[in-house]
Structure 1
Amino acid sequence: MTPEQLSLAIRGVLADAVTSGELSAAVPDEVRVERPRSREHGDWSTNLALQLAKGAGIPPRQLAEVLARRLQEVEGVRKVDVAGPGFLNISLDAGAAGELARTIVEAGTAYGENTTLAGHVVNLEFVSANPTGPLHIGHTRWAALGDSLRRLLAASGATVTSEYYVNDAGAQMENFAASVLARARGEAVPENGYPGEYVDGLAKVVLEQRPDLLELPDDEALVVARDLGYQAQLAEIQQVLASFDVHFDVWFSERTLHDGGAVEQAVARLREQGHVFDADGAVWLRTTDFGDDRDRVMVRQDGVPTYFAADAAYYLSKKDRGFPEKVYMLGADHHGYVGRLKAIAACAGDDPSVNIEVLIGQLINLNGAKLSKRAGNMIEMRDLIDWIGSDAVRYSLARYPADSPLNLDGEQLRQRSNDNPVFYVQYAHARISRMSRLAAEDGVRREDGFDPTLLDHETESVLLATLGEFPRVVGQAAELREPHRVARYLEELAGKYHKWYDECRVRPESADEEITDLHRTRLWVNEATRTVLARGLDLLGVSAPEQM
């Protein structure tokens, strides 16, 4: 019996009690069950009686006793206790609990998928680093968290589009072009330019594609240096992200907003909404009406649109492309953007509490990491991957909340020991895989038998209950935008598996021992655990090795 099935059973007995007139209570759409903190309190627990007692007009414990009596008759339920003011503690019989192993194995990678966010259409924007230099450690954190969140949203029923906003317009691109051209000419990078050996590499690429660059007039040469240098730098960003197993559905160019007139159209649309005004020769958006600390300039006195105007146009683009929910994942230095982006949403006629969500990530420090010689005073993403490995980096960044500053130990992340969380979880998967191979050599085959009533060891009930939690953990992680919940769950699951492995034999102890249904049934449990570990690691973008 899965937690979902138990939830439906509880709802069913409540509905029957209401229909029979024994209770007068509202039947909720969903009944939540949770694992008790102590195994002595059963396999599952619910506080449903406490939730409904006031509306039912009876004490919660009395309501709980009615439900307990009826639940006791449900097939697969071994015992129901009423605890405290009205908690229901439910113990399943071994057969009902053990049936979960077969359910998981037969579901395969689909186990864990849920409908928590069914019907939600989400645009998820993350990383969005300027195409004027390489990705650094801060971008790496958002790449890990953003892509994990994308996977979790999809697994929880949402229709999600991942998007990278390419800031390829404005003064930064002019400075970038001047830097590339200067290095191509063998000159020093101009003031406000981009230093770093990577600019020399971009200059070399531009010269290879346009040998006549140095013969062109300055205006034309700057355009060539900008466009070709930008293309080369963006290609490198895409390649590095791909090596990190991060892929975007949409690469959106800021320049298209300007070239296609979208910025001007955004100003006009917001003016029609009644939120644009003219003052001091500039065009403003009255964002203070919606909680921003000051009104924002959209068009300067010289007629040049601001970055804020492009932000407004970009938001409207997302809205026009059919995304009711827009999630922005921004770095710590963008904290001031929260109010203004929500104000843009309100000015566009949206509900800032529903249609836009801004997540701010905190800074990260990695002890032992070397600054990039190529990029200057930064830790490059490509160097992190080469040094520590994609799996260790992704897992380590995903296992902490985005809003918590991080100080990680690079050498520890490289260690193959149980002190390294990613190794601990991956090792559990490899151990399970090895057990499957050895069991096959012994002639233990799942398809030859399955008797869940035999799974009566304490470690088996604990392990099965933990496996049953996986869909809820995935749905909650997606809903709360917290991938770290999956990582912490996997570590707990790995620990429960190791304890079970130490106590319960899957294989015969000797060649003379008869292979029984207990061995075969435990092999189902072994495979169910492997399935969940592999799926959980995949949701974090981490591999599940079969050998280590």
Structure 2
Amino acid sequence: MTSVDLSRTVLRAVRRAVDDGELRVEPPERVVVTTPGGGGWGDYATNVALQLARPAGQPALRVAEILRPRLIGLDGIDDVLVTGPGFLNIRLRDTVSVDLVHDILRRGTRYGFVDVPQGSQGFRSGPPASPAPLPLPLHSPGDVRSLVVMDVVARLLRAQGVVVRTRCLDSSVAPSLADQWGVRVDGYGAAGSDTPDLGALSSPPCSLQPRPCSGDPLFLGIDAGRWALLHPAPHDAVRLTGDHLVQRESNPLFRVRYAHARARAVLRNGSELGLAPRPGATGVADAALLAVLADHPRVLRRAAETRAPDRLTRHLVAVADAALPFLVTVLPRGDEKPSAAHRARLALAEAVGAVLAGGLSLLGIDAPDHL
């Protein structure tokens, strides 16, 4: 179950409570579920009871207690605990994590992608109205950051099934600049008057501090240079420093790539021990890791919808930070005998590698197996 699936499940519980007369309130259009904060419990949490308390004319704790029994046992929900002023904390069954890992391994690096063409009319849950959807035009100025941001936004949109056509508005920009950065540009110069501008895109120019580099982030290399341009939000300045190259935990890009390399390493080591990945109960506390993996499709969709590659970079850092402590628990230690739990952990490690590799690929950044 993904966070999107769980959100719909909670919303159905709210609607049933309204239909049964236990809550006199207009159900919200959507319910937000997140990973539990400090003092939380389980795999996910939602503040829907606090959201409904005032319009329902009841204390949030009472609203939460009305919803709790309607959630337990539904769609893979194992238990629900009310905490604080009325937060609903939700624990999923092990079978849910098994299904999630199965799904990631089946889709591989395309986990979270949508294969149905959607065209320029936006995101739809059903099939497109036309077999040949209109392309969504994305326009960019000629500076390096704008070109790279446009390229990744186009990749994110294509991953969601949207047909995209990119254009650099500065016809004086040499195509070799785009080629150097691995940027796909479909056209140069101003678009024709008959082309609707449905997706104009512009990024702030680079703000160089403190290392002088004449405005060219290429001194970092393509991978670190792309990360430096993409990790800040589009409205934030870019910091071009050697910090993006250091091989230690203070560097977010290093943590992401190191987590991918570690996931690949444990798979190689597991193979040497005769262990093959097999989804199942891992026997370790990995709820935070499962939560961020399950959230990957939603992050890709939101990053595409909001034209914000930085959402994906932050998400990959979250995946890496949740994965690194888990990856040291995957293989047997000492005299410990290989078991089904170790095979399940290997499957989860393989899922981690697939998500990180797929995300880095969308950013145009290499995901090395050795680091």
Q: Structure 1 residues 465 and 328 mapped into 2: Cα distance closer, same or farther (>3 Å)?
A: closer
Across the two proteins, how many residue pairs are aligned to each other?
357
Give the superposition deviation at 1:401. Answer: 1.4
Query: Counterpart of 1:486 in 2: which secondary structure?
Result: helix
Are positions 1:246 and 2:75 aligned together? no
Corresponding residue to 2:284 among 457, 475, 495: 457
Check whether the contact 1:362–1:403 (CA below 8 A) recurs between aligned residues. no
CA–CA distance in 1 between the matches of 2:152 and 2:307?
A: 10
Partner of 1:344: none
After alignment, is 477-486 or 434-443 more displaced?
477-486
Check whether the contact 1:362–1:402 (CA below 8 A) recurs between aligned residues. no
Q: Structure 1 residues 407 and 12 mapped into 2: Cα distance closer, same or farther (>3 Å)?
A: closer
Q: Structure 1 residues 441 and 415 mapped into 2: Cα distance closer, same or farther (>3 Å)?
A: same
Check whether the contact 1:429–1:534 (CA below 8 A) recurs between aligned residues. yes
CA–CA distance in 2 between the matches of 1:253 and 1:240?
A: 15
Q: What letter corresponds to residue 438 of structure 1 in structure 2?
A: N
Are positions 1:364 and 2:207 aligned together? yes
Check whether the contact 1:122–1:327 (CA below 8 A) recurs between aligned residues. no
Are positions 1:520 and 2:349 aligned together? no
CA–CA distance in 2 between the matches of 1:490 and 1:513?
A: 32
Q: Structure 1 residues 466 and 328 mapped into 2: Cα distance closer, same or farther (>3 Å)?
A: closer
Query: Counterpart of 1:328 in 2: which secondary structure?
Result: coil
CA–CA distance in 1 between the matches of 2:253 and 2:293?
A: 19
TM-score (normalizing by structure 2)? 0.85
Give the superposition deviation at 1:164. Answer: 1.6
Give the superposition deviation at 1:433. Answer: 1.0
Q: 1:241-290 deviations in whole A, cap 9, x for unaligned?
A: 123111023x1444xxxxxxxxxxxxxxxxxxxxxxxxxxxxxxxxxxxx
Check whether the contact 1:444–1:507 (CA below 8 A) recurs between aligned residues. no
Corresponding residue to 2:331 among 495, 507, 512: 507
Gaps of 5+ in 2: 125-133
Query: Counterpart of 1:91 in 2: which secondary structure?
Result: strand
Query: Counterpart of 1:545 in 2: which secondary structure?
Result: coil
Higher-Rg member (1/2): 1
Question: Matches of residues 240-319 of structure 1 in structure 2 within 5 Å?
Answer: 240-249=177-186, 251-254=187-190, 314=191, 316-319=193-196
Partner of 1:231: none
CA–CA distance in 2 between the matches of 1:326 and 1:466?
A: 29
Corresponding residue to 1:534 among 327, 336, 357: 357
Corresponding residue to 1:328 among 201, 208, 213: 201
Partner of 1:346: none
Q: 1:491-529 deviations in whole A, cap 9, x for unaligned?
A: 222122111123x2x23336x754311111001110111
CA–CA distance in 2 between the matches of 1:443 and 1:538?
A: 30
Partner of 1:408: 240
CA–CA distance in 1 between the matches of 2:211 and 2:22?
A: 67
Check whether the contact 1:94–1:461 (CA below 8 A) recurs between aligned residues. no
Give the superposition deviation at 1:366. Answer: 5.2
Q: Structure 1 residues 157 and 68 mapped into 2: Cα distance closer, same or farther (>3 Å)?
A: farther
CA–CA distance in 2 between the matches of 1:63 and 1:156?
A: 36
Give the superposition deviation at 1:475. Answer: 2.5
Q: Structure 1 residues 473 and 56 mapped into 2: Cα distance closer, same or farther (>3 Å)?
A: same
CA–CA distance in 2 between the matches of 1:242 and 1:55?
A: 56
After alignment, is 13-22 or 538-547 more displaced?
13-22
Higher helix residue share: 1
Q: What letter corresponds to residue 92 of structure 2 in structure 1?
A: L
Give the superposition deviation at 1:535. Answer: 1.4
CA–CA distance in 2 between the matches of 1:326 and 1:60?
A: 42
CA–CA distance in 2 between the matches of 1:528 and 1:427?
A: 15
CA RMSD of superposed structures (Å)? 2.8
Q: Structure 1 residues 456 and 147 mapped into 2: Cα distance closer, same or farther (>3 Å)?
A: same
Question: Matches of residues 422-433 of structure 1 in structure 2 within 5 Å?
Answer: 422-433=253-264
Are positions 1:470 and 2:296 aligned together? yes
Q: Structure 1 residues 241 and 39 mapped into 2: Cα distance closer, same or farther (>3 Å)?
A: farther
Q: 1:467-497 deviations in whole A, cap 9, x for unaligned?
A: 1222222233233332112212212221221
Give the superposition deviation at 1:534. Answer: 0.8
TM-score (normalizing by structure 1)? 0.59
Question: Matches of residues 435-454 of structure 1 in structure 2 within 5 Å?
Answer: 435-446=266-277, 449-452=278-281
Partner of 1:434: 265
Q: Structure 1 residues 461 and 328 mapped into 2: Cα distance closer, same or farther (>3 Å)?
A: closer
Percent of aligned pairs with the same amino acid: 31
Check whether the contact 1:365–1:406 (CA below 8 A) recurs between aligned residues. yes
